[in-house]
Amino acid sequence: MTADAARSGILGALDEHSGPREACGVFGVYAPGQAVAHETYLALYALQHRGQESAGIAVSDGETITVVKDMGLVTQVFDERHLAPLEGHLAIGHVRYSTTGASTWRNAQPVYRSVGDAGFSLGHNGNLTNTVDLAAGLGMLPGVLTSDSELIGELLAREYPPVPRADGRELEHALVKVLPRLAGAFSLVLMDEAHLFGVRDPHGFRPLVLGRTEGGWVVASETCALDIVGAHFVRDVEPGELVAIDATGVRSIRYAPPQPKLCVFEFVYIARPDSYLYGQSVHAVRQRLGEELARQAPCQADLVMPVPESGVPAAQGYARASGIPYGDGFVKNRYVGRTFIQPSQHQRGASVRVKLNPLRENIRNKRVVVVEDSIVRGTTTRQIIALLREAGATEVHMRVSSPPYRWPCFYGLDTGKRSDLLAADMSVGEIADYLGVDSLAYLDLERVVAATGSPGESFCTACFSGRYPVPVPDDDTKFALEPGRRTLHVPGTLEPTERT
């Protein structure tokens, strides 16, 4: 049985910079004898940076699964009144940005399917690359399923054993059959009435970690979610691994050989700085990126300043390595959200003055180095440079702690079409002219990888290099399941020259 409770609503908010829509955030907890809804709420709050379109929680008391989801931030969807009825010791939670499927209540997660005794629920971080082929294999008309996450739910429901298994592991049985058929990026949390599962695709494009809490276990997109619920990090869920958690403990099932390709942009921008990836502090890596940037692209200036908040660690590193004083150039309105949720570039641009105000006394008559983690579309960056000019900066030098973002992501970031990307067809000199800066430099990819402390072959660098580890669709997949849409599939890994 299930109760699917929700309140309808539409949220508009404002963004850090005109960057990509981020990967989603997932969390799961199994803690017998404990009420875990509030713990799940706190974990989603810690993962809010990964998705701000919708939020949801599914809870089981051992017999009934209850799902509550809605459009908006975690604090807008849930309060004490909505958390109180969510009784149970087993839960999963999700915060979403849309990749495949529009930003609608129907596509909010967790997804629920009513099969077996109590059904099952799932949350998905990532993006499938064979969505259209899988949907066609189900024989379903376009529009019946509206997201790749819902498609995974339908595939699992169809593989559910018709007769309950003696061990009660119907969902695990279905997962073992379905997971090898999925291609692309998928870090999943799933639950039935008695079991919690964590799944990572064979390449591990998106992070997923296992943690231990008093009397139970948790899985989460990032380690920062473990911290907020008092859990300690045990290990990463490995690429190609299915982790099953129930009354017997934790079991590991390898459904595919691992081929690690963690998204390098997780280190650059997506992950929270207080998280750990590949055993490395994200904050420390971002400071090293800034140090490398200072060595690669030195500059004569009076002030190093970040674009808050995402550029802060790299700016600190740049200042430390260059010897140029670090300082603030902007005051950020902390009560304004993220601009890339806004439906148009015009609205994103209009939000810059609402979000950032220059500290004129720090900038006037100064040569400034502005450090940013990435430039994706460039509209907001251009307006930030104009604000600095208006505030009296004599020179503005832009330094970016990642390579030019030239290729769209098909593995869980909504970057739009390649034509939307500023660096897709422009040289660094042309970008400098467009932005209105005195100089511009991007960090070389080799230096980015070196700063992570991990080997280059363990990363997906497609957004910078155009080399996709898994064959990708030829078109944007966001509305691939809508009627009238057709996605052409490319037969192999793409080189940059093959996509021009």
Q: What are the DSSP calls for 414-444, one per residue?
A: B---GGG-TTSS--HHHHHHHHT-SEEEE--
Q: For domain 281-454, give its CATH number from 3.65.10.10, 3.40.50.2020, 3.40.50.1820, 3.40.50.300.
A: 3.40.50.2020
pLDDT at 105: 72
pLDDT at 479: 56
Residues 96 and 55: beta-carbon distance below 8 Å: yes
What is the three-class DSSP state of 466? coil
List active site positions. Answer: 24
pLDDT at 249: 96
Residue environment code for 196-225, b if the CB has 16+ CB neighbours within 10 A, otherwise e: bbbbbbbbbbbbbbbbebeebbbbbbbbbb
What is the three-class DSSP state of 253? strand
Peptide bond into 309 cis (omega under 30): yes
Burial class for 428, CB neighbours closer than 10 Å (0-12, 13-18, 19+): middle
* Nearest residue to 103 (alpha-carbon basis) of 493, 482, 478: 478
CA angle 282, 284, 288 (to 5 degrees): 115
Residues 403 and 375: beta-carbon distance below 8 Å: no
pLDDT digits (tens), the chain, 500 positions? 333 333 333 223 333 344 554 579 999 999 999 999 999 999 999 999 999 999 999 999 999 999 999 999 999 999 999 999 999 999 999 998 755 445 567 789 999 999 988 999 999 999 999 998 999 899 876 667 878 999 999 999 999 998 899 999 999 999 999 999 999 999 999 999 999 999 999 999 999 999 999 989 999 999 999 999 999 999 999 999 999 999 999 999 999 999 999 999 999 999 999 999 999 999 999 999 999 999 999 999 999 999 998 899 999 999 999 999 999 999 988 776 544 434 445 554 556 778 899 999 999 999 999 999 999 999 889 999 999 999 999 999 999 999 999 999 999 998 878 999 999 999 999 999 999 999 999 999 999 999 999 999 999 999 999 999 999 987 655 556 666 554 433 333 333 322 22
Q: Which helix (H) or strand (E) holds 361?
A: helix 360-363
Residues 423 and 377: beta-carbon distance below 8 Å: no
d(CA 368, CA 372): 13
Q: Where are the domains of the chain?
A: 2-260, 281-454
- Other CB atoms within a 10 A radius of the CB of residue 341 amount to 18
pLDDT at 483: 60
* Nearest residue to 151 (alpha-carbon basis) of 162, 136, 167, 171: 136
* Nearest residue to 5 (alpha-carbon basis) of 63, 83, 72, 74: 83
Which CATH superfamily does the domain covering 2-260 fall into?
Aminohydrolase, N-terminal nucleophile (Ntn) domain (3.60.20.10)
DSSP string, 257-302: -----EETHIIIIIS-TT-EETTEEHHHHHHHHHHHHHHHS----S
d(CA 388, CA 342): 24
Which two structure tokens, joined as six digits, stand for 375? 């430039």
Residues 336 and 360: beta-carbon distance below 8 Å: no
d(CA 433, CA 431): 5
